[in-house]
Amino acid sequence: DSGVTQTPKHLITATGQRVTLRCSPRSGDLSVYWYQQSLDQGLQFLIQYYNGEERAKGNILERFSAQQFPDLHSELNLSSLELGDSALYFCASSLPGQGAYNEQFFGPGTRLTVL
């Protein structure tokens, strides 16, 4: 158990819908990262937040957005869902400090299925 929690574990929805994935980082971690893992794309970095502010952006679609709240939990919002958005979505957290020095702790993931 990494200490990072993600809800829900599974989510099934239809094309065109909007969903929210939730992540609670480990106690004391200020950074939260979101990743998407699909069969054909592998593990892709989406976005990072540090203490409520966006810090780094990766291959995140405009239909996707995220935020980190004052209690440090984070939400990833996915809208206008398409079949290709079906994937595992992982959240990770890390201690304050530079990413190169600190390990990331990954949650168990949310499996999103878009029908």
Contact footprint for other proteins (CB under 8 A): 2, 4, 31, 33, 35, 42-45, 48, 50, 55-56, 58, 90, 92, 98-101, 103-109
Q: Which residue number, 79 or 99, has a Cβ lying nearer to other proteins?
A: 99
Number of other CB atoms surrounding residue 53 within 10 Å: 9
Q: Which residue number, 50 or 64, has a Cβ lying nearer to other proteins?
A: 50
CA-based angle 69:46:113, to the nearest 5?
A: 95
Minimal distance, residue 4 CB to other proteins, in Å: 8
Report d(CA 30, CA 73) in Å as an integer: 9
Query: Tokens in use for 98?
Result: 């530079």
Is 13 strand, coil or helix?
Answer: strand
Minimal distance, residue 39 CB to other proteins, in Å: 12
Minimal distance, residue 79 CB to other proteins, in Å: 24
Phi-psi region of 99 (alpha: psi -120 to 50; beta: other; left: phi over 0): alpha
Q: Which residue number, 52 or 108, has a Cβ lying nearer to other proteins?
A: 108
Q: Which residue number, 79 or 108, has a Cβ lying nearer to other proteins?
A: 108
